[in-house]
């Protein structure tokens, strides 16, 4: 039973992240200009300088772990591990067509991003592709 609860929590955290990324994608398409989401893997945070702070209402937000921003920002608790196949300092950029642009760890341009959320030995992968994202 405990395993099912932990697995469900990991999936819930990934879904909250997916929701914010989809919001960034839709905003880029609606506004007709780029929207970025930048990650800090070590601090387990992400933020978007292009979206207002009240753009989402996800259960992962922790004001204790975030600096005060007037832009969308979110943090995961200390027991959660985040990682991705892209440079956290450049993050993910959604263009006006909803496609993504990012650079992998070697600096090569990519159009598919993968983010891994880990907690208590369980992990979930979030794949962000042009036009859609999937939680596995």
Domain borders along the chain are: 2-135
Q: What is the mean pLDDT of the chain?
A: 82
Domain 2-135 has CATH 3.40.1190.20: no
pLDDT at 63: 40
Predicted confidence (pLDDT) per residue in 95-133, tens digit: 999 888 889 888 898 888 999 999 888 999 999 887 766
What letter does residue 72 receive in the DSSP assignment? Answer: E
Q: Which long-range contacts (CB under 8 A, 24 or more apart) does 54-63 make?
A: 55/23, 55/27, 56/19, 56/20, 56/23, 58/16, 58/17, 58/19, 58/20, 59/12, 59/16, 60/13, 60/16, 60/17
Q: Which letter does DSSP use for residue 60 in this model?
A: T
Q: What is the pLDDT of residues 61-80, one digit of tens each?
A: 444 434 444 567 888 889 99
How does pLDDT run across 30-40, given as a tens digit for each residue? 999 999 999 99
Alpha-carbon distance of 73 to 8, in angstroms, equals 23
């Amino acid at each position: 039973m405990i395993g099912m609860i932990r697995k469900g929590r990991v999936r819930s955290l990934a879904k909250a992240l997916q929701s914010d990324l989809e919001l960034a994608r839709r905003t880029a398409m609606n506004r007709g200009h780029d929207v970025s989401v930048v990650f800090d893997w070590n601090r387990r945070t992400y933020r978007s300088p292009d979206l207002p702070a009240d753009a989402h209402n996800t259960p992962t937000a922790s004001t204790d772990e975030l600096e005060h921003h007037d832009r969308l920002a979110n943090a995961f608790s200390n027991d959660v591990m985040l990682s991705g196949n892209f440079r956290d300092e450049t993050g993910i950029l959604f263009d006006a067509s909803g496609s993504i642009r990012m650079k992998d760890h070697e600096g090569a341009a990519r159009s598919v991003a993968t983010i891994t959320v880990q907690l208590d030995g369980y992990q979930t992968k979030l794949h962000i592709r042009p036009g859609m994202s999937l939680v596995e």
